[in-house]
Structure 1
Amino acid sequence: MIRPFRPEDAAWLVERHGTLYARDEGFDDTFAPLVASILDGFVADHDPTCEAGWIAEAGGARLGSIFCVRLDQHTAKLRLFLLVPEARGQALGQRLLEACMTYARDRGYRGMQLWTHESHRAACALYARNGWRLVASRPVHSFGRDLVEQSWEIAFH
C-alpha cells in the first residue's frame, strides 16, 4: 500500500538512504545528513495544500518513498524517490511515481523537475517511460564519488 509520509518515517528514510547508497553506489557519510536535512525541512515547513510525501509499505514494513515539493508557483520537484532492493521489479516504483505526478497535476502544477545521477539507470528508464525528459547532465564529485548529475523535467498538458 501507499500511504502518506509521517514524521516518524524520517529516521527510517535517512538510515535506508545512507545504508543503501553507501553499499550500492559507494557514497560517503555526507549523503545521509543531506537526506536528514531535506526531511527536517519538509517536516518543519511543508505546505500541506501543495506538498506531500508517501511511503510504500507491505505488512507494516516500509519499502520506499517519494515526495512532491513546491519549486515555484508552476513547478513541483520530485524528491527522495527510493525503493528498497527487495521491492524492485514489482511496479511499485511506477505506482509511487504515478501517485506523485497525479498529486502535482491535481494541485495545479504545470510540470515537475527532479535531480538524480546517471548511475540510477532503472529510475531514469522509469522517468523516460513516463514522459520525463533529460534536460541537463554534468560530471560532478559528490558524496565522495565521481558522478554524472542529471536534471529531468516533465510538462503537464
Structure 2
Amino acid sequence: MNDAIKAIDDYARILFRYRIRTEWETRERCAEKGFDSESIEALIERLKERGLLDDDRFLRMYLYEGLTLKKKGIYVLREELSRLGIARDQIMEAWRALSKREDIPALLAQWASKEKSFDPNRWKTKMLKRGFESEDIGQALEVLEDRD
C-alpha cells in the first residue's frame, strides 16, 4: 500500500471513529486536509464498497435519531442535513417515509405529558423552535385534551 493511500485511509478512520459521514462531508474534509481529488475519489469508492459510506442509510438514521432521541422536528433536521450535503428533496422523501412509520403527534403528546408544569402555549413555542410542524403540534395538543 503506498503512503498516500495509507494516509487518506488513516484519516478516514479518524473521521469515521467519531460518527458515520456523508459522501459530501467525507470528500470536503479530505480536501480540507490536503488530499488530492484522485485519492479522495478512490477512498470514496473503497468506503462505498465496504458499506461504510451510504448517504441513504445515513439520512434515515439521522432523521430517526434526531426525531426520537434528540426531539428535533423536520425544519431543524432539514437544515442540519443540508449542511452535511444531503439534498432537500431526499430529506423530505425520507421524512415522509419516517412519518408513516412514526406517529409524530403521538410522540409529541407523550413528551408533553412528561413535562412537570405543562403550559400549552410555552410548549407549542418550544416545539416550533425545535422544528416541528404546527399541524403535528396541534394534533398533539388535541390528543392531550382528549386525555383530560
Give the TM bin, normalised by the shorter chain: under 0.3
Greater share of residues in strand: 1
Report which structure shows greater RCO (CA 8 Å, sep ≥6): 2
Task: Give the structure with higher Rg (CA).
Answer: 2
Calculate the TM-score normalised by the size of structure 2.
0.27
Calculate the TM-score normalised by the size of structure 1.
0.26
Greater share of residues in helix: 2
